[in-house]
Amino acid sequence: MTRLRHRPALDVRVEIRGELPHEDAEYARARALDTATVLGPDAHALRLRLTRSRDRSVTRPALAQADVELADVGPVRVQLATGTARDSVDLVLGTLAGRAGRLREQGDIGFASAYESAYRPQFADRPLAQRRIARHKAVVLARRTPEQAALELFALDRRFHLFADAATGRDSLVHRCSPSGTVELRSVGTGAVPTLDLAEAARLLWITGRPFVDHTDPGDGRARVLYRRFDGHYGLIAPVSDGRIGAGTVSARD
């Protein structure tokens, strides 16, 4: 008699982008269900997104992103890339499960980011003349302490994290300084963030090759972050004061 494996009650969704063999897509769905069981009853809304890049300049074209909501912890996200779809699925789901366990037990992810740096997604080598701002997101920033923002930075597997400082209310940003997990805090109005218009920020992003440029907008004095997307285009994050836009800390998504 064949036994049916237990399936979790939580919502599990798998999104496939690009052309992938049917067998790889089914493998991703099966592994997502298995991981949902491992994550336990306090996990909610597991998402797995698998993308296959066609850009020949990218040596690790299989990009997998997994995220889950954990009770008493919040959202946890991992984004990694390898040469094959199945390897990326195994790596990202295994890392997500390990990170969730570490956050539950110790409240941090330790030195995981140093190991994962070898599998970071790559930027497509898009010609400068073809680049554009492919995503513009306006948000209301939630108040956080720098320590809370840094924890969210790692839990959400981001390069930077934009928030409102709990003590001063200033637009502030924490970002990774190195793969080992060191972070730096910068706040608008302290001299640490330059005042640039969008054209100047784009020029600085191009000249330096940095993954993002945080700056103060000369018009309203609020923080802005212009960042590189993995598809070779740019994204722009701009905080606003209107609560109807939607609240929460915001970081680079690709």
- The enclosing domain of 74 has a CATH number of 3.30.160.100
The answer on 182 and 107 residing in a single domain is no
- Quote the CA–CA distance of 116 and 95 in Å, as a whole number: 9
* CATH code of 204's domain: 3.30.505.50
Could you say which of 119, 138, 173 is where a domain stops? 119
Per the confidence metrics, is the pTM higher than 0.85? no
In a domain, 113, yes or no: yes
Q: Are 212 and 228 in contact, with CB atoms under 8 Å apart? A: yes
The residue range of the domain holding 106 is 12-119
In a domain, 5, yes or no: no
Could you say which of 73, 90, 119 is where a domain stops? 119
The answer on 153 and 54 residing in a single domain is no
pLDDT of residue 242: 60
In a domain, 1, yes or no: no
The answer on 109 and 134 residing in a single domain is no
| Mean pLDDT of each 10-residue bin along the chain, 254 residues long | 49 88 92 92 91 87 94 90 95 93 78 64 88 92 92 87 93 80 76 90 92 94 94 93 47 43
pLDDT of residue 243: 47
In a domain, 6, yes or no: no
The answer on 174 and 99 residing in a single domain is no
The answer on 195 and 102 residing in a single domain is no
The answer on 104 and 19 residing in a single domain is yes
Report the domain count for the chain. 2
pLDDT of residue 178: 62
Q: Is the dihedral of CA 43, 45, 51, 57 positive or negative?
A: negative
The answer on 203 and 154 residing in a single domain is yes
In a domain, 3, yes or no: no
pLDDT of residue 35: 94
The answer on 21 and 68 residing in a single domain is yes
pLDDT of residue 249: 42
In a domain, 230, yes or no: yes
The answer on 152 and 65 residing in a single domain is no
64 contacts: CB under 8 Å, gap ≥ 6: 28, 48, 49, 50, 51, 79, 80, 81, 85, 88, 89, 91, 92, 93
In a domain, 18, yes or no: yes
The answer on 214 and 145 residing in a single domain is yes
Could you say which of 119, 141, 162 is where a domain stops? 119
The answer on 162 and 66 residing in a single domain is no
Closest among 221, 249, 201, 213 to 75, alpha carbons compared: 249
Q: Where are the beta strands (DSSP E) in 83-233?
A: 133-139, 143-144, 160-165, 171-176, 183-187, 212-216, 223-228
Residue 169, both tokens = 């209310």
The answer on 24 and 97 residing in a single domain is yes
- Quote the CA–CA distance of 20 and 29 in Å, as a whole number: 13
In a domain, 160, yes or no: yes
